[in-house]
Chain A
Amino acid sequence: MKELKVEATIENLSKVFTFLQEALDTCDCPARTKRQIKLCVEEIFMNITHYAYNPETGTATIKFSVENGDKPPRAVISFEDSGKPYDPLKKEDPDVEADLDERPIGGLGIYLVKTTMDAVAYEHKDGQNVFTIEKEIGKIVG
């Protein structure tokens, strides 16, 4: 398992991207899947900076592992923070059928996570928000 602990700030998104890139480089994962995972990691990390800690700041811990078992390999990525309890999955989905005039600016991040990942889960455990995503990937290299 690989782990990154950083202050949850917008500027640190680049560190998160570097961490993710290195982790994904060990997987024989299609480029498209990599970009889908990257998108979701960005959305969840930004959610932590906006909702868990705003206006104060705190840390986010991101853990990356690949699980095999009897299923095809899956990237499992969890995000832990000690901010305000916040379950993004409770947020109502945007109306993607709405017309331009009715469409609010925003509210798409978590929706993208829910629609592109194979599994998403939230729990509040030991005073922490724990958000986990899973996505099927290719073989592990080496």
Chain B
Amino acid sequence: MDFEKTENGSTLTVSLIGELDSMNTPELEEKLIKEIEGVHDLVFDLAKLEYISSAGLRVLLQMQKTMKTQGSMVIKNTNDEVMDIFKVTGFVRLLNLA
């Protein structure tokens, strides 16, 4: 699991790359919490996210809750399999999917 970030003004784009599972999610969460400090608009690019389990869903939900109070969060380029999981769990209603 890796991530790449791109900053453009007040927008931070985070690309998640690889597989987000219970082993690597805690470290990612810790880094993301620091990255989004002071960020107004957060974009997650999931084009290269191949796998996500409930641990990763928890992080996205936490990020969405945090960003609701400090700005906005958008998720883009979700692939079909990750989208299946977003649908089953009702995340399609909770997340702003571009």
Q: What's the Cα separation between A112 and B85 when bound, in Å?
A: 8
Is A112 a contact partner of B54 (Cβ separation < 8 A)?
yes
Is B57 a contact partner of A108 (Cβ separation < 8 A)?
yes
Q: What's the Cα separation between A25 and B92 when bound, in Å?
A: 32
Q: What's the count of A-B pairs with C-beta under 8 Å?
A: 61
Residues of chain A lying within 8 A (CB to CB) of residue B32: none
Residues of chain B lying within 8 A (CB to CB) of residue A108: 54, 57-58, 89
Q: Which range holds the interface residue count of chain A? A: 20 to 34
Is the CB of B88 closer than 8 A to any CB of chain A? yes
Is the CB of B93 closer than 8 A to any CB of chain A? yes
Is A11 a contact partner of B23 (Cβ separation < 8 A)?
yes
A38 and B51 contact, Cβ closer than 8 Å, known pairs A13-B22, A108-B57? yes
Residues of chain B lying within 8 A (CB to CB) of residue A109: 53-54
For window 51-85 of B, CB contacts with A under 8 Å fall at: 51, 53-55, 57-58, 61-62, 64-65, 68, 81, 85
Is B22 a contact partner of A42 (Cβ separation < 8 A)?
yes
* A interface residues, Cβ below 8 angstroms from B: 10-11, 13-14, 17, 32, 35, 38-39, 42-43, 46, 94-100, 103, 105-106, 108-109, 111-112, 115-116
